[in-house]
Structure 1
Amino acid sequence: MKRLLNNAIAVFVILIVLLLIIPLSPFLLDVMIIINISLSMIILLISMNIKEPLDFSIFPSLLLITTLFRLGINIASTRNILTNSGSAGQVIKAFGEFVLQGNVIVGFVIFLIIIFVQFLVITKGAERVAEVAARFTLDAMPGKQMAIDADLSSGLIDEQQAKARREKIQREADFYGAMDGATKFVKGDAIMALIITAVNLIGGAAIGMIQGGMGISEVLSVYSIATVGDGLVSQLPALLISTATGMIVTRAVSEGSLNEDVTKQFLAQPRTMMITGFFLLILTLVPGMPILQLVVIALVLIFGGLYLSRKMQKEAAAFAAGMAADAKKQETPQTEEDYYKDINNVYSLIGVEPIEMEFGYSLIPLVDEPSGGKMLNRIVIFRRQYAQEMGFVIPSVRLRDSSSLNTNQYQIKIKGEEVARGEILVDHYLALEPASPTGEIDGIETIEPAYGIPSKWILPENKEMAEIYGYTVIDPLSVMLTHLSETIRQHAYELLTRQEVVQLVDSLKKTSPELVEETVPNVVNYGNFQKILVALLKEGIPIKDLETILETVSDCAASGMDINSIIEQVRTALKRTITRKFCTGGQMCVLTLDAELEKKMVESMTKNEQGVYLALSPDIMQHVVEQIGEELKKFNELSQEPIILTSQVIRIYVYRMLEPFYPGVYVLAFNEISSNIQIQAVGNITAS
């Protein structure tokens, strides 16, 4: 039985094919006609209750099957009409007698009207709508795909949601394309109905008079009933299917089923109902109009509209009262003294935001989403990219306006304190000056806030000319966002809190539970592990490979190493990550330290209560710092961060010595670079 149900459609199609070949008795023909009418009614009701076309995605195939079924019934009924002297079952006879009512001409006129309504109105309209919907859906596909990609890039949706949306767009395109073709079946079916009607009437009349010896009046009586009845039992289901086709392809902006949408949207306009009622009352003044019917319908519309209007007013008043009550509950006390009598409110004053960005009045449109500002979306994209690159999710950025700033200024705060400030012109573009511009452009001289590059604020009409001259032109929002992102990168290590470390470890526990349980907090506690991760982030080393980091920490801590030694071992374990981050095209340009200088640094290493440091003489230190300053200029022409290469023994101490002078310089050890990388020394630092 289960196998039969799984193949029910195949069996049904085979049955339809048999209808074209095997003659049916009038009894079986009645059964098939009733099934056809029932199936068409079911399809119509389903199309009225779906919320979107894809809820009934099998409709194009179903349309083909029902059309074939209807044509099979037409052939079977025509065979019975022509061979059984017009007798084709009770259903056809009942429909024919009901429509004709003893008058052949009137009956045929009504029948033809039904045929033409089906052919010229319903079928033609559904065909046109399906054609336009298919074309527009295909034209809109690239834009929809770009919108999905934008939402995915901004972090508003994940990969699975994006995949589901893409599949839905593809299914919509396939569906409307199939509907465009399927409506041709409906059109062909309507044409075929006219042909079969003519065949039944003309062929039946010829057979009745030539072979049956009937008179003209008897022929018209018998075959007109059969012809009209057969046409009606065929066209009634066809009309239902055509109507369902039109409903499905026109459900473009529906929110619910057709019943829900019609009820909701009609009842939402009580004023139009009342106006229509008064209009009907005015029509009673026209002589000869049926006054009783007009008055009754007008009063129903007027009183119905009044009832709905009062109901909507009560609902609006209740909603407003609820909003007022909620606002009253949340309302701050009138006086500041009363508010801070509650000690919990005092605690709200001592909290600080991890990251804040304050704006002057003129910059608010860049940030305010209702005004079209894109700042929040761009920050979301940056957070996602930074997490993928560094393995650390930066906290949310608090954006607010500030009356203490100039209108074009903004400032960036980390943990409540200002760390960066900038000024931009909203109605200008920032043009970064190239090394050798091919021409001069008019503008306001300034310094790019993120990298300190000499720049100019130029008018929008000079943008194209500036690009021709070799300038890099940036819009104001990108200038501000770049400054924010670079500031966050520089201070990311300050944002890695103990709680964030716990979350990172908990996330690793899902994939490596044994490692986490063995190491944290048995071998290394959260405090020391935070110090290790902070040290890595401070020098720009990604902590994304947390499993390797924790394994190395576990091995080193178990052998009794101090924190500094553990950090150096972790950096060595992350050599591929470090190489990928700082290597460009298989090469790495570096500054090296002279062997004599390294020897003096090792000899000057001194230990005190705070740890080990380099106790170089002031003359040597000043000479080294000045040399590095001169050599760093060579990196201005290279597309690479400035790097100093040392031995592992002194790497961390060289970094600490140079950090106050050159915070943007990276100090790497030889064993932190993969062996397949070509190292090119662009300078050598000596002791004298």
Structure 2
Amino acid sequence: MKNRNLAMLAVPVGVVGIILLLVVPIPAAMLDVLIIVNIMLGLVTLLTTMFVKKPLDFSVFPSLLLVATLFRLGLNVASTRLVLGDGYAGQVIEAFGHVAVGGSMVIGAVIFLILVVIQFVVVTKGAERVAEVGARFTLDAMPGKQMAIDADLNAGLITDAQAKDRRAEVSAEADFYGAMDGASKFVKGDAIAGLIIIIINIIGGIAIGMLQRGMEIGEALDTYALLTIGDGLVTQIPALLMAVSTGMIVTRSNAESDIGTTASAQLTQSRNALLITGAAAILMALIPGMPIIPFIIVGFGLIFISQRIKTTEAAKKAETEAATAAEQVAPKTDTSEDLIEQMRVHALEIQLAPDLVDIVSGASDDLLARVRGLRRKIAMDLGVVVPPVRTRDSIDLPSSTYVIRIAGVEAGRGIAPAGKVLALGDALDGLPGTVTVEPVFGLAGKWVPSEMRYSAEMTGATVIDRVSVLVTHLSSIITSNAARLLTREDVRILTDGVRQVNPSAVDDLIPGMLSLAEVQRVLQGLLIEQIPINDLPRIYEALSLRAKVSTDPEGLIEAARHALGPALTAQYLDGTVLRVIMIEPLLEQSMLEGMRPSEAGTQILMDPAKIEAVLASVRSSVATVEASGLSAVLVCAPALRPAIRRLVSTQSDGLPVLSYQEVTASNVTIETVGVVRGAETISA
């Protein structure tokens, strides 16, 4: 706790000290210590920027740059006071003024100007431009990144905590680059201030030496100009270090290692490049007048490194071939158990083209890890335990193609080209890539190279990586086929879980009133309409009451729906308002009179022309509501709901159908936005 308090007070106390440095004289010995601290601070900052893996790991850099700039200016004021007042400003400045430049004012001035040019024209100007462009690109890409996070969260690829962390990282990245855009101006101003200060100090030193101390102009130059040059050098060197640090941090991209490891790995990735460069160095040694030994040493050094790379590559290749050969010669068992395993039809399966196998890896976009997250999300949302997803490659599939199978039958197909991302938007004509249609929502998109990701985000497009595309497609297929995936064994496991927390709900129902197969049929009926079954105790209690009257599956499903009424209605609310499409009372009465039982459930027997008119009215009402940017549900009498739902599902897929009991089971405000009419009403 004590160390934490010291660290918390270090910067505020340091800033107060810098302010005092501007107005309070200090001895030369203390100035030496502060100058050394300034140089070491610049060196530590530069090295830190080289070892961080991403810019946000050094997010305090903009504030540190301001404090360091203020510190150098404070040292300039303190050293100027000592140089002009005492003609001596400590050993460090004297060493730089006499030893580092050989006691020559001309050499010192030239070195100082060279440092200023390097800092101001080369490093600072480039860093300022990179920071400006980085800030603009980061801010422009921020909405697309936020949408990508929301898409991953909705698809179950990440948890709420992970989404919160990623949103915070995106916001922090935008804040960092925005701060760096302004902080780079500190470095530019520091370079200008250093040049102005040294000119003022030289003129002031000459004036003091000649007017106050009666020196000749040459003696005044030797005394004050050299000290001023030394002062400029000891402050310009750490300023140059901070300028290089600024350029280093804004040009760093997110990587898995520090810049040294990354640079060495990427510079030595091409053996031929090193070999040709080494040979060129040896040839240059043969040019008359060239120093032979340095070129020979460098050339043979590069050739030696290239040969080491060749040996390493050969060893890796041999290991890979040995592993492949071992797999090929491994004895393949042909037991009954193996044949049964190969014959088994898996509930869920993803087949990948050979060029897509790389996504099943341990990388950050690992398909298997994302599928595990998806299973967890669907279990929380629907109450269904999704069976394990088998993943295997298939040489029969076209390149970049994947197929999702349910119980051995293809349920969906798509593409996920390697090295590309899917951009969804309206302004994609200027981007290279393959035009496609997003498989879940049917949105127009384009597969663009991964290198064009930020360019696509700048056009306002939402960019999705290929694993997210596949997992989102898988999520849609699992959700729409949840009823098929719910096996009787799953129902038994879920029932055992309910028995542990609410044994009476299970004991009253199973097996006395309903069998496990009948309960499975009810739960499947709920899942067909995307109704979560995670509130099993309430569902079982409702089934117990209904089963005393009838075990008709349709009636059992409606009883369970009525028990879940508030939860069903809540997902369609806009605040506290539920927008509904009603059925004209006379038409509803006519439908009730035409209801007849059948093996598939109750059906409505009406004239085909009248049914077509009803469906046309439903489509018209839904289109009118959607044109207003709203959504609505169709409500009807409880006895009619199953038949109406089967009737309209063939025409308006996705239109929820609720009964009056379900709507009125919760305290909501009903707003009628449409009325379904029959042929007679429409013609009238």
TM norm structure 1: 0.68
CA–CA distance in 2 between the matches of 1:298 and 1:585? Answer: 79
For residues 108 and 120 of structure 2, the distance between their equivalents in structure 1, rounded to whole angstroms, comes to 18
Query: In the alignment, what sits opposite 2:177?
Result: 176
**2:338 aligned partner:** 345
Match of 1:497 in 2: 487
Alpha-carbon deviation of 1:62?
0.5
User: Counterpart amino acid of 2:614?
Assistant: F
Distance 2:105 2:10 in 1: 42
| Cα distance in structure 2, aligned partners of 1:546 and 1:147 | 28
Deviation per CA, 1:610-648, whole angstroms, max 9, x where unpaired? xxx999xxxxx99x9754766533431214899985769
Whole-Å separation in 2 of the counterparts to 1:202 and 1:421: 81
Deviation, structure 1 residue 78: 0.3
- Deviation string for 1:530-575 (max 9, x for gaps)? 633522533655542543x423524764999375586664343234
Match of 1:544 among 525, 528, 532: 532
Change (3 A) 1:141 1:215: same
TM-score (normalised: structure 2): 0.69
Cα offset for 1:8?
A: 1.5
What's 1:553 paired with? 540
Alpha-carbon shift at residue 77 of structure 1 (Å): 0.2
Q: Distance in 2 between matches of 1:146 and 1:498?
A: 39
Residue in structure 2 matching 1:65, options 57, 60, 67: 67
Does residue 314 (structure 1) correspond to residue 315 (structure 2)? The answer is yes
Deviation larger for 307-316 or 391-400:
391-400
Alignment of 1:72-151 (within 5 A): 72-84=74-86, 86-151=87-152
User: Of 44, 56, 65, which residue of structure 2 is paired with 1:54?
Assistant: 56
- Residues 560-606 of structure 1, C-alpha deviation per residue, up to 9 Å, x if partnerless? 937558666434323445678999943443744799999xx9xxxxx
Where do 1:2-401 residues align within 5 Å?
A: 3-84=5-86, 86-252=87-253, 254-329=255-330, 340=334, 342-348=335-341, 350-354=343-347, 391-392=383-384
Aligned partner of residue 586 in structure 1, secondary structure: strand
Call closer, same or farther: CA 1:593–1:349 in 2, change over 3 Å: farther
User: Which of the two has higher C-alpha Rg?
Assistant: 1
Q: Which runs of 5+ in 1 are unaligned?
A: 334-338, 359-363, 406-410, 423-482, 602-612, 616-620
SS at match of 2:89: coil
1:87-109 deviation digits (Å, cap 9, x = unpaired): 00111111111123143322322
Deviation at 1:394, TM superposition (A): 6.1
Provide the residue aligned with 2:614 in structure 1.
635
Name the CA distance, whole Å, in 1 between partners of 2:215 and 2:386. 95
Query: In structure 2, what is the Cα distance between the partners aligned to 1:625 and 1:493?
Result: 25
Q: Contact 1:82 / 1:204 at 8 angstroms: preserved in 2?
A: yes
Deviation at 1:225, TM superposition (A): 2.6
Distance 1:404 1:242 in 2: 57
* Structure 1 Cα separation of the partners of residues 206 and 313 of structure 2: 64
- Identical counterparts, % of pairs: 40
Tell me the amino acid that sits aligned with residue 43 of structure 1. T
Q: Is the 8 A contact 1:126 1:183 kept in 2?
A: yes
Q: Does structure 1 conserve the Cα–Cα contact (< 8 Å) formed by 2:539 and 2:564?
A: no
| Matching of residues 600-615 of structure 1 within 5 Å | none
Task: Write the deviation string for residues 184-203 of structure 1: whole angstroms up to 9, x where unpaired.
Answer: 11111111111221122221
Contact 2:488-2:516 within 8 A present in 1 as well: no
Cα separation, 2, equivalents of 1:553 and 1:395: 23
Q: How much does 1:68 deviate?
A: 0.3
* Matched residue count: 569
**Greater CA deviation, 307-316 or 34-43?**
307-316
Equivalent pair of 2:205/2:224 in contact (CA under 8 Å): yes
Residues 354 and 240 of structure 1: is their aligned pair in 2 closer, same or farther, counting only changes over 3 Å? same
Deviations 1:649-687 (A, max 9, x none): xx99x99x99xxx9x999998756637879989689xxx
In 1, the alpha carbon distance for the partners of 2:566 and 2:239 equals 70
Q: 1:545 to 1:22 in 2, by over 3 A?
A: same
| Cα distance in 2, alignment partners of residues 105 and 421 from structure 1 | 78
1:592, 1:646 within 8 Å by CA — same for their partners in 2? Answer: no
Q: Deviations over 1:409-462 (max 9, x none)?
A: xx99864589x999xxxxxxxxxxxxxxxxxxxxxxxxxxxxxxxxxxxxxxxx
Whether 1:586 and 2:588 are equivalent positions in the alignment is no
Q: 1:632 to 1:75 in 2, by over 3 A?
A: same
Distance between the aligned counterparts of 2:82 and 2:412, measured in 1? Answer: 92
Report SS of the residue matched to 2:257: coil
Is the 8 Å Cα contact of residues 271 and 310 (structure 2) preserved in structure 1? yes
Higher RCO (Cα < 8 Å, 6 or more apart)? 2
Query: Shift of the alpha carbon at 1:301?
Result: 2.1
> Displacement, 1:208?
1.4
Contact 2:98 2:226 in 1 (8 A): yes
Question: Is the CA contact (8 Å cut-off) linking 1:82 and 1:203 kept in structure 2?
Answer: yes
CA–CA distance in structure 2, aligned partners of residues 368 and 545 of structure 1: 39
d(CA) in 1 for partners of 2:293 and 2:205? Answer: 49
Cα separation, partners in 2 of 1:125 and 1:345, compared to 1, 3 Å: same
Contact 2:46-2:245 at 8 Å conserved across structures:
yes
Distance in structure 2 (CA, Å) of the matches to 1:37 and 1:485:
57
Q: Against the structure 1 CA distance between its residues 516 and 98, is the aligned structure 2 distance closer, same or farther, given a 3 Å change threshold?
A: farther
Note the aligned Cα RMSD (angstroms).
5.1
- The runs of 5 or more residues in structure 2 that have no matched partner are 360-366, 398-402, 414-472, 623-632, 680-684
Quick check: 167-176 or 52-61, which moved more? Answer: 167-176
8 Å CA contact 1:51, 1:255 repeated in 2? yes
